[in-house]
Amino acid sequence: MKLYNKLLAWQSCLAVALAACNDTENPRVDLGYATYEGTALSNGVNQFLGMRFAAPPVGQNRFKLPQEVIQEHGIVSAKSHGSLCLPVDGLAFTPPPGQDMSEDCLFVDVYHPAHANGTPAQNLPVMVWISGGGFVQLLNENYNGTGLVEASNNGVVIVSFNYRVGPYGFLASEELQKEGSLNIGLQDQRAAMKWVEQHIGKFGGDPNNVTLFATSAGSGSVLLHTLAYGGHPPESENVNWRAGIAPAVWLPSVHKVEEIQYQYDHLLNATNCSDLACLRSLDSDTIQRANRGFPFPGQANVPLFPYGPVTDGHLLTGTPSEMLRNGSFAKHRPLILGSSSTEGTIFATQANTTQDVNDFLKTQFPDLTEYDLAQANTQYSSVPSTFPGVNVTKSPKFYQLSQMYGDMAFSCVASEFAAGLSRAGVDVYLLRDHVLDPDEVAAGFIVPHTWELQAVWGPEYAPQSVAVPGANSYDVGGVNHWMVGVVQAYWLSFARTGGNPNAAKAAGAPFWEPYRHGERLKLQTNSTTMESLHEEELDRCALWSKLSAKTHI
Distance separating alpha carbons of residues 253 and 123, to the nearest angstrom:
39
- Asked whether residue 9 carries a pLDDT value surpassing 90, the answer given is no
Distance separating alpha carbons of residues 521 and 34, to the nearest angstrom:
45
pLDDT confidence of residue 465: 87
- Asked whether residue 353 carries a pLDDT value surpassing 80, the answer given is yes
List phi, psi (to 5°) of 426: -80, 135
Span 293-313, pLDDT tens digits: 999 999 999 999 999 999 999
3-state secondary structure of 219: helix
Average pLDDT, the chain: 93
Distance separating alpha carbons of residues 257 and 176, to the nearest angstrom:
9
Q: Are 274 and 57 in contact (CB under 8 A)?
A: no
Distance separating alpha carbons of residues 466 and 132, to the nearest angstrom:
12
Domain boundaries, the chain: 18-333
Q: Assign residue 63 a region (left: φ > 0; alpha: ψ between -120 and 50; beta: otherwise).
A: left
The Cα-based distances of 61 to 38, 56, 172 in angstroms read: 28, 7, 15
Q: Are 483 and 398 in contact (CB under 8 A)?
A: no
Distance separating alpha carbons of residues 338 and 344, to the nearest angstrom:
14
pLDDT confidence of residue 470: 84
Report the amino acid identity of residue 52. R
Say what percent of the chain tops pLDDT 70: 94
3-state secondary structure of 30: strand
**DSSP assignment of 433-494:** E----HHHHHTT-SS-TTTTHHHHH-TTTSPPPSS-TT--TTSTTSTTTHHHHHHHHHHHHH
3-state secondary structure of 127: strand
pLDDT confidence of residue 122: 77
Separation of CA 361 from chain center: 24
| Nearest Cα residue to 26 out of 38, 13, 43 | 38
pTM: 0.94
pLDDT confidence of residue 121: 63
Distance separating alpha carbons of residues 216 and 346, to the nearest angstrom:
13
Report the amino acid identity of residue 403. Q
Looking at 228-353, list the stretches that DSSP marks H as alpha helix, in order from N- to C-terminal side: 257-271, 276-281, 284-289, 320-325
**Whether CATH 3.40.50.300 fits 18-333:** no
Query: In sequence order, what are the beta bridge partners of 158?
Result: 111, 127
Distance separating alpha carbons of residues 492 and 501, to the nearest angstrom:
8
- Asked whether residue 13 carries a pLDDT value surpassing 70, the answer given is no
The Cα-based distances of 141 to 131, 205, 242, 348, 461 in angstroms read: 9, 23, 25, 24, 10
The four Cα atoms 461, 462, 463, 467 give a dihedral, to 10 degrees, of -140
- Asked whether residue 7 carries a pLDDT value surpassing 70, the answer given is no
- With b meaning 16 or more CB within 10 Å and e meaning fewer, what string describes 418-429? bbbbbeeebbbb
Which of the residues 152, 160, 181, 216 is marked catalytic? 216
List phi, psi (to 5°) of 395: -65, 155
- Asked whether residue 16 carries a pLDDT value surpassing 50, the answer given is no
3-state secondary structure of 233: coil
Distance separating alpha carbons of residues 156 and 146, to the nearest angstrom:
10
- Asked whether residue 351 carries a pLDDT value surpassing 70, the answer given is yes
- Asked whether residue 433 carries a pLDDT value surpassing 90, the answer given is yes
pLDDT confidence of residue 342: 98
- Asked whether residue 10 carries a pLDDT value surpassing 60, the answer given is no
Q: Are 377 and 552 in contact (CB under 8 A)?
A: no
Relative to beta strand 529-532, strand 519-523 is antiparallel
**DSSP assignment of 176-209:** HHHHT--SHHHHHHHHHHHHHHHHGGGGTEEEEE
For residue 349, what is the DSSP state?
Answer: P
Report the amino acid identity of residue 201. G
pLDDT confidence of residue 93: 63
Confidence band for 466, pLDDT divided at 50, 70 and 90:
confident
Element (H, E) at 147: helix 146-151
Instruction: Output 180 or 4, whichever has higher pLDDT.
Output: 180
Span 128-179, pLDDT tens digits: 999 999 999 988 877 899 999 999 999 999 999 999 999 999 999 999 999 9
| Nearest Cα residue to 203 out of 16, 43, 54 | 16
Lowest mean pLDDT among 99-113, 399-413, 461-475, 525-539: 461-475
Answer yes or no: 527 catalytic. Answer: no
Span 176-234, pLDDT tens digits: 999 999 999 999 999 999 999 999 999 999 999 999 999 999 999 999 999 999 999 99
